[in-house]
Copies of this chain bind each other. A is one copy, B any other.
Amino acid sequence: MGGGPGGTRTREGRTLTGSTPQRPKRGRPSRLSREHIVTAAYEIILKEGAENLTMRRLASALGSTAMAVYHHVRDKDELLTLTLEHAARALPRPELPEEPRERLATVCGLMHQAFVSNPWVVPIVARGELVDMPAVWMTEEIVGALVGCGLSRERAVEAHRTIWYYTAGQILATVPRPGGPGLPPAAAPAEAEGRHHYLRGVRHILDGVLPAPGSH
């Protein structure tokens, strides 16, 4: 990447900013932006694992240098946080069943799935205090559904925390060793089994936390 001086008219300059046409990988952006950086970081993490995301690796993927990145991002920690938010934004938010208890199980399943799809976030989430990481709406849905099941706001928050801790621990213990460029296909059954176990555990916690079905 000598970056010859003959760049001529590569700077397409004026208004890229409106609604970006989104051409994230083709071509090679002559100017960095936070969005480009985060997108590239996200791709590296998905393809090569979070432990292979280095400032130099990222820079080379961007056709730039490590130090150029630092002009847009304070440090690697901020980069990771940004990338995590990027991933959270990409999470699906499907329709949820009305019945509170079904709704709970569904949201928990989604939360679990979100972590299974992005196992690299677990250590990052874990080390911050950002307990409500997966996506704020999940936290709100869970607390809301718990209230819908008859819990006070206070106990609902407490119960949510119990579920969240359980979820974090389950993912942490279950997630496959990082490193491989892609998940080995043999992991699919293990993943399904992990999901099954997780949901059983959630159901147990709900049994303990919610008032008995009849005692309304």
Asked whether, in the complex, the Cβ of B205 is within 8 Å of the Cβ of A162, the reply is yes
A204 CB contact (under 8 Å) in B126, B159, B168, B197: B159
Taking chain A's interface residues, is the majority helix, strand, or loop, or is none over half, making it mixed? helix
A1 interface contact, C-beta 8 A:
no
Asked if A109 is an interface residue, CB under 8 A from chain B, the answer is no
Residues 199-212 of A, flagged 1 when their CB comes within 8 A of B and 0 if not, give 01101111111000
Per-position 1/0 for A152-176, Cβ under 8 A of B: 0000001101101111111011000
The smallest C-beta distance from A151 to any residue of chain B, in angstroms, reads 11
Any B CB within 8 A of the CB of A135 = no
Any B CB within 8 A of the CB of A131: yes
The 8 A CB mask of A115-159 against B (1 = contact, 0 = none) is 000000001001101010000000000000000000000000011
CA distance A1 to B129 in the complex (A): 36
Tell me which residues across on chain B come within 8 A of A205, comparing CB atoms.
162, 166, 204-205, 208
**Among candidates B129, B158, B166, B177, residue contacting A165 with C-beta atoms closer than 8 Å:** B166
Interface string of A57-92 (1 = CB under 8 A from B): 000000000000000000000000000000000000
Instruction: Knowing that A158-B197, A162-B166, A165-B165 touch, tell me 10 more A-B residue pairs with CB under 8 angstroms.
Output: A129-B173, A162-B204, A166-B169, A168-B168, A168-B169, A168-B173, A169-B170, A203-B208, A205-B205, A208-B208
19 intermolecular pairs with C-beta atoms under 8 Å apart: A126-B173, A158-B200, A159-B204, A161-B201, A162-B204, A164-B173, A165-B166, A165-B167, A165-B169, A165-B172, A165-B173, A166-B169, A166-B205, A168-B168, A168-B172, A168-B173, A204-B208, A206-B208, A207-B207
